[in-house]
Amino acid sequence: MRRVMYKTSVAKAQKRKKNSPTLQAVVVSGFFAAPEPGRKRFQLVMKNGEKFPGKIDERLIDFQNLRKLRGQQVTIKGMLHFQASGKPRLLEAQMITLWQPGDEAFEAISVPLPKVQIRAQVHGARTDRNLAAEIWGKWPGNESIDQLLDMLRSPDTTD
Amino acid sequence: MARYLLDSGVLLGYLRASPFAAYIDQHFSPFALANITAISIVTQGELRSLALQLHWGSPKQQALKDTLLKIPYIDINHDAIFQKYAEN
């Protein structure tokens, strides 16, 4: 069977890909399920029943130590990979800890919608060990910290 | 192991490499692997609003968005957040 892709479809797909993030840092809580013993994969089952496939960052987590977490409610810090459509594809865990009171705030994943035109340009492996360094001094403008804090306190007073 | 929700001022301090952010980083290490640190969706909005108020062009706005993507953000409309806020 021959498939024809029209120009408009290609343009639409390209636009959607351009406007979708590929990687987003997340913190998320749910039930930890490791349905495939021996494989370094897991599933995170959210409170609403939604399931996210996940894998661990082996440089940071020893999978053997995670067996005791099976079925437990956990909080995971990591990177969320997206499909070109903007839907979450894979959760890469960098740190997994038992859920604790207050972690209810992490029971839903906040992801940017494709229409807000956010596109990640994060390349290569990244861990939180150097996140402070990655954002340190990365404000793209020349405004002083005092000027920025003033703007925060009294918005709409620029110019 | 600690959980931190950074406000807009503190995040700006990091982004602007300010002395108070250096103090916070040295004493609390919010971005250490063992700690969980996020920002709120309000902080995302406030910083992006600053970019608009400063009339930045697309490249600078995109640079800011890319940096913000590296930090987890959450919806703060949550009882657990209100409770922590009230306690402090």
A80-135 tens-digit pLDDT: 888 877 788 899 998 888 898 888 888 877 655 433 333 333 333 344 457 899 99
Contact assignment for A145 to B64 by CB distance below 8 Å: no
Residue of A nearest to B24 (CA): A132
Q: Does the structure show a pLDDT above 70 at A21?
A: no
Interface test with B, best of A135, A146, A150 (most B CBs within 10 A): A135
According to the model, what pLDDT value does residue A111 have? 59
Q: For residues A110 and B56, which has the higher predicted lDDT (pLDDT)?
A: B56
What angle separates helix B41-53 from helix B8-15, to the nearest 10 degrees?
Answer: 60
According to the model, what pLDDT value does residue B53 have? 94
The tens digit of pLDDT for each residue in A22-48 reads 788 889 999 998 756 667 789 999 888
Out of A4-8, A34-38, A117-121, A143-147, pick the least confident.
A117-121
Q: Taking residues A125-152, what's their average pLDDT? A: 85
Q: For residues B88 and B26, which has the higher predicted lDDT (pLDDT)?
A: B26
Print the SS3 string covering chain A: CCCCCCHHHHHHHHHHHHHCCCEEEEEEEEEEECCCCCCCEEEEECCCCCEEEEEECCCCCCHHHHHHHCCCEEEEEEEEEECCCCCEEEEEEEEEEECCCCHHHHCCCCCCCHHHCCCCCCCCCCCHHHHHHHHCCCCCCCCCHHHHHHHHHCCCCCC
| Alpha-carbon gap, residue A76 to A22, rounded angstroms | 19
| Alpha-carbon gap, residue A92 to B72, rounded angstroms | 13
Residue of A nearest to B54 (CA): A158
Chain B residues in contact with A126 by the CB 8 A cut-off are 70
Q: Which CATH number fits domain A14-135: 3.30.110.40, 2.40.50.110, 3.90.550.10, 3.40.50.1970?
A: 2.40.50.110
Q: Taking residues B57-68, what's their average pLDDT? A: 93
According to the model, what pLDDT value does residue A31 have? 93
DSSP B25: H
Query: Nearest-CA distance from B26 to chain A in Å?
Result: 11
Q: What is the ipTM of this complex?
A: 0.89
Global confidence as pTM? 0.72
Chain B residues in contact with A59 by the CB 8 A cut-off are none
Q: Which of A77, A135, A156 comes nearest B70 by C-beta?
A: A135
Q: For residues B79 and B56, which has the higher predicted lDDT (pLDDT)?
A: B56
Length of chain B: 88
DSSP B54: T
According to the model, what pLDDT value does residue B30 have? 93
Q: Does the structure show a pLDDT above 90 at A60?
A: no
